[in-house]
Structure 1
Amino acid sequence: MALDKDTEEMLAALNMHSVSELFSDIPEPIRSGISGLENGKSEQNVRNHIEKILEKNVSMNRMSSFLGGGAYDTYVPSAVKSIVGRSEFLTSYTPYQPETSQGLLQVLWEYQSMMCELTGMEVINNSMYDYATGLGEAALMAARIGKGKIFLIPETISWPRQSVLENYCRGPGIELVKYAYDRETGQADMVDFESKLTDDVFGALLETPNCLGVLETGADEMRQTLGDKILVAGVNALSLAVVRPPGDYGADIVVSEGQMLGNFPNYGGPMLGIMGCKKKHVRKMPGRVIGLTTDIEGRTAFCMTLQTREQHIRREKATSNICSNEALTTVATAAYLALSGGSGLRESAIYTMKKSRELANAISSVRACTAPVFSGPNFSEFVARFPIKSTELIEKMVKNGVIPGVEMAIEDMENSLLVAVSDRTTDDEIRKYAQALKEVLK
């Protein structure tokens, strides 16, 4: 193919002879293989073409979905969508100019205030990307505060979260050591935990509910066992409307996922990483903190009080490189919390727990099925065991209009699924799950 003059000049500057050399680092098997595109189409034809492609997607409104594992199909009030759709809020860009961003800054400050109340923590930052990246940042933060090179994590941690955490810890040389879980309750094995607690451990992660859906009842014991080491609590944000917040049992750092509070699952994003800490650790925390102040005329004003990004302060003192963050999903969560109020959150949480128990009972009523597998208390999800492989069960249940849950990436759980409900789950959907299960296992 003949090259135009501009292309030839650019290739010469790069010391290359062909355009294909630009892509030589990409393995052949994963290249797109596109060789020549069709002529342009009209807007209407393009729309029709794209809509045909989109029809291949399965909407949660067309099937009964019981997926969880970090992203949840919770109800989003129409008012939330209207608020975040306003041009004043429709951005994740950093509000560097406070004189022109008072509305957005106030919403972000209100978010921090409401989240502090929900978690019981003294400080909440203005978002990380999601739970997993928040967890990675929490491990780095704990390492800055404590002494040692080992961070204890539960054996039940999900592989996506573990993968992100490993990436964060690789550079600083932090070693991740797992502590076991009780095979009956699904909760942390405190005997094993204590045996792993060496002098080189600087902190530990307690997830409640954990990735088996089980709420931990030993948070106080873990806090006491750790002594002055750092306790990082990974929590379900909605569950805090009905269970003890991490601030109550002395967590130093908290991480959570805010997607369930006013945001849609959307193929797993955009999410909202919630992160907070005790006030004494605030200067070790990444991200930004919005503060309440007054302007030169004495009027109430809002500004970014802490900005620990490496481009804002001396690089060696920076604790973060996050810039354009999850401000838009933060606004959505702030709107959701304000619209729901404490009573609304409790109502959603109680409804969710109730439907979780009802679904577990419905599954257990089917021959050779067990739910929940573990005896520890649950919030919105639980592990269910079936008499056939989970991959086979999912394939057959989907044909019956039900997405039955998430496969378990844990040893000896190939016949199990993590099954979740939300405040959108109905009695009809629970009956549909049980009926589809009976059909599949006939």
Structure 2
Amino acid sequence: MAIKGFKNHPYIPNSVPEVQQEMLKEIGLNCLEDLHKEVPQELKLTKNMNLPKAFQSEYELRRHVEGLLKKNKSCNDYLNFLGAGCWQHYVPAICDEINSRGEFLTAYGGEPYNDFGRFQTLFEYQSLVAELVDMEVVNVPTMDWSQAAATAVRMASRIADRKEVLVPKAMDHEKFLAMKNYCDPDITLVPVEYDKNTGLMDLKDLKKKLSSKTAVVYFENPSYLGFIEVNGQKISDMAHEIGALSLVGVDPSSLGVMEPPVKYGADIICGDLQPLGIHMNYGGGQSGFMATMDDEKFVMEFPSRLFGIAPTTVEGEYGFGDVAYDRTSFGHHREHGKEYVGTQSALWGITAGVYLATMGPKGMEELGQNILQKSQYAISRLNELEGVVGSKFSSVNFKEFVVDFNATGKTVKEINRELLQRGIFGGKDLSCEFPELGQCALYCVTEIHTKTDIDKLITAIEEILRS
């Protein structure tokens, strides 16, 4: 039966060609394909999918899928030294116990009339992360660190009313592209060179690129390449001198042994919650956070939800709810919201809160010390191998470090292929991302690695280099 007014899909809103064209015209586009113009042509499907015939029973389907999954080799099967933004940490059983409860696992959005418990757990998560980073306001999580960094950059741009952002060249290229995509077309990212010996941000190049256009300087500590940025205060001071903000990305697992970025001038802090009790989930256990002080000019620029506590009409009882709800895209302002916010990773925020409550300050300190000691042991053992430099940069490292294989006569790809044959995931090959480093790999050591694990890696690399 034809439905009057519909020329296309009767059950898909805004599918009428005239309506589509009006919407496209409003945002300055000509066709729907313009929405995806940044996707390379070779990634687009130009033919029908080659789908198999439907299975006749649930049993057949399950057996087929399980057979496919068995082909995969996970970190439960192999010894893992990969990190680069998704790290293998120990997950206390209580984290899985709490986040698998029905009221958390299956919750969506949620409003006061049906979701008192989740509001309180997210408030507790925010409070615990705020204590960890020594700031006062923390958002309900974004999708990952990349989104948190990109959102924080846009926040800083609005606060400073400027359109240029300085970022370290020694950062994750995928994160840079995500930030660039988020900031286009009105905010420009300008990479700052790094010192080839230490890896630290080149302060001379930073000074040269700072200007009245600079909204914020973004850097990470520890850095993507693992070294600790000891010039954090100098970088923040240089930004503040020209009226810009300081934005620092941080790995929260380091904060038991390192000062929080606010101590060296950070105005906004961002990072990923994944190290705090969240499984890697095939690379999907990511969850970004942002933090600021309780300053209205910062708070009102958060696009995501903020939960607060308030007294009720009953003495001694408290309620939990949204703070400054109107500023959001789903609040009363709608199209005037700071930026669009959709489904987020609130479940991982609850999980991170459980982890932090379980660990406490002493536990986080022990975690950081454990990681520092084991990563330094791995570096010292790698230095014993002929032609191998355990840490490419002279700076102190936390958890991750760049291993230099240039003098071995073998490529990282060759070494990693042979490590796989021995049941080991080697470090991330940096030869494409950082061609100037040559044959270098980013290795990761956390609290889950034992001395035996590290010694096994050393033995395997030694055998590979001799072959």
> How far apart are the structure 2 equivalents of 1:332 and 1:48?
32
- Equivalence for 1:19: none
- Equivalence for 1:80: 95
Please state how far the C-alpha of 1:157 moved relative to its aligned partner: 1.3
For each residue in 1:55-94, what CA deviation from the matched residue of structure 2 results, as whole angstroms up to 9, or x when unmatched? 1111101111111111001010111101111111114622
Please state how far the C-alpha of 1:203 moved relative to its aligned partner: 1.1
RMSD: 2.5
Do the aligned partners of 1:142 and 1:203 also contact (CA within 8 Å) in 2?
A: yes
- Equivalence for 1:402: 424
Q: TM-score, normalised by structure 2?
A: 0.86
1:139 to 136, 153, 170: 153
Please state how far the C-alpha of 1:5 moved relative to its aligned partner: 11
Q: TM-score, normalised by structure 1?
A: 0.91
More contact order relative to length (CA 8 Å, sep ≥ 6): 1
For each residue in 1:332-386, what CA deviation from the matched residue of structure 2 results, as whole angstroms up to 9, or x when unmatched? 1111111111111111111111110111112111110001110111110000011
* 1:256-267 aligned within 5 A: 256-267=271-282
Do the aligned partners of 1:94 and 1:323 also contact (CA within 8 Å) in 2?
A: no
1:421 to 432, 435, 445: 445
> How far apart are the structure 2 equivalents of 1:266 and 1:131?
16
SS in 2 for 1:347: helix
Asked if 1:187 corresponds to 2:200, the answer is yes
Please state how far the C-alpha of 1:95 moved relative to its aligned partner: 2.3
- Equivalence for 1:103: 117
Asked if 1:123 corresponds to 2:137, the answer is yes
What percent identity do the matched residue pairs reach?
29
1:377 to 383, 390, 396: 396
**Structure 1 residues 158-167 or 313-322, which shifts more?**
313-322
Give ranges in structure 1 of 5+ residues lacking alignment. 17-22
Identify if the C-alpha distance between structure 1 residues 55 and 375 changes in structure 2 by more than 3 Å, giving closer, same or farther.
Answer: same
**Structure 1 residues 34-43 or 405-414, which shifts more?**
34-43
Identify if the C-alpha distance between structure 1 residues 31 and 54 changes in structure 2 by more than 3 Å, giving closer, same or farther.
Answer: farther
SS in 2 for 1:275: strand
- Equivalence for 2:29: none
* 1:216-235 aligned within 5 A: 216-227=229-240, 228-235=243-250
Please state how far the C-alpha of 1:39 moved relative to its aligned partner: 5.2
Do the aligned partners of 2:78 and 2:425 also contact (CA within 8 Å) in 1?
A: yes
* 1:21-420 aligned within 5 A: 30=45, 33-34=48-49, 37-38=52-53, 40-91=55-106, 93-96=108-111, 98-171=112-185, 173-227=186-240, 228-280=243-295, 281-298=298-315, 299-307=317-325, 308-315=327-334, 317-386=336-405, 387=408, 388-408=410-430, 409-420=433-444
Do the aligned partners of 1:385 and 1:416 also contact (CA within 8 Å) in 2?
A: yes
Identify if the C-alpha distance between structure 1 residues 27 and 158 changes in structure 2 by more than 3 Å, giving closer, same or farther.
Answer: closer
> How far apart are the structure 1 equivalents of 2:16 and 2:335?
37
> How far apart are the structure 2 equivalents of 1:318 and 1:67?
39
Do the aligned partners of 2:237 and 2:265 also contact (CA within 8 Å) in 1?
A: no
> How far apart are the structure 2 equivalents of 1:36 and 1:315?
40
Identify if the C-alpha distance between structure 1 residues 15 and 214 changes in structure 2 by more than 3 Å, giving closer, same or farther.
Answer: closer
SS in 1 for 2:347: helix
For each residue in 1:181-238, what CA deviation from the matched residue of structure 2 results, as whole angstroms up to 9, or x when unmatched? 1111111111111111111111110211112111111111112111231100011111
Please state how far the C-alpha of 1:294 moved relative to its aligned partner: 2.1
- Matched to 1:244, the amino acid is E
Count of paired positions: 429
> How far apart are the structure 1 equivalents of 2:105 and 2:87?
23
- Matched to 2:234, the amino acid is E
**Structure 1 residues 250-259 or 388-397, which shifts more?**
388-397
Identify if the C-alpha distance between structure 1 residues 58 and 148 changes in structure 2 by more than 3 Å, giving closer, same or farther.
Answer: same
Do the aligned partners of 2:389 and 2:403 also contact (CA within 8 Å) in 1?
A: yes
SS in 1 for 2:264: coil
2:459 to 435, 438, 441: 435
Do the aligned partners of 1:80 and 1:332 also contact (CA within 8 Å) in 2?
A: yes
SS in 1 for 2:270: strand
> How far apart are the structure 2 equivalents of 1:130 and 1:73?
16
Identify if the C-alpha distance between structure 1 residues 37 and 384 changes in structure 2 by more than 3 Å, giving closer, same or farther.
Answer: closer
> How far apart are the structure 2 equivalents of 1:194 and 1:37?
59
Give ranges in structure 2 of 5+ residues lacking alignment. 18-32
> How far apart are the structure 2 equivalents of 1:143 and 1:36?
46
Identify if the C-alpha distance between structure 1 residues 133 and 12 changes in structure 2 by more than 3 Å, giving closer, same or farther.
Answer: closer
